[in-house]
Structure 1
Amino acid sequence: MQALPDEGRLALFAHVVSLGVNAVQRVGTSRRALAHAGVLADLVDLDMRRYWTATASSYLARVTKALIAQAVAEGVSPEAAGQLTSLDKGSMAAKAEELLSGTGWLPPVLRRSGAAPA
């Protein structure tokens, strides 16, 4: 391992650590494990806004209309969210994707502790 350059050692270390981290939220996941994952995310400055964007296919079409409206209210404005309420869900998700583009909005599950919605 000493023969590896620093970048290679860091990559190997990151891989080994990743094998022991599971922060997937589902029934039976302990709050303690999720809290530890949150601490780790803070330590490595994990910002999911660098890697993920709310789109119709990644999130918006998979949640309720109320959650779509909440996302737009947080990421854009309550007024913009109010303009979506009369749309059917598919149209609402598509319009929300357009409105949220470039805002950096994340659903709560992807936010770091203490992070603002957008």
Structure 2
Amino acid sequence: MALQWMILTYVVAIEAAIAILLTLPSPKLLRSRLTSLISLILQPALFIVPFAGFQLLDIYWKNEHRLSCTSDVCTAAERDRYEKTTYKAQRNVILCISACLLYWSIYRICKFQKDIESMEEVEKRIKSK
């Protein structure tokens, strides 16, 4: 189970780096090449959305079927373990949501940049006429 969260963590880190790379100011030629390269990678990288969704469902199922430790008969170690699993679940939910949001933001950034490029081409054609 830890391998899935490790993969998701690396994917979120890579997505964050790509989002930062796309939003940094750069020359027009480099920006267009980078945008086209990232756009080619986006379609196969779409697997992250259902993967994160499945992980969210897994967290929800485990949360619903988890034994609660709220009575006085629980020991301190059991209470600490229960709180630790709750914190891990909250961290993993944030990780899943950030993976989906970062993917969406990278997709929108690439789309906006392609739209801007096409508008610039239209503007050049209109000016040349």
- Shared fold by TM > 0.5? no
Q: Which has the higher contact order (CA 8 A, sep 6+)?
A: 2
Q: Which has the higher helix share?
A: 2
Using the size of structure 2 for normalisation, the TM-score is 0.28
Higher Cα Rg, which structure: 2
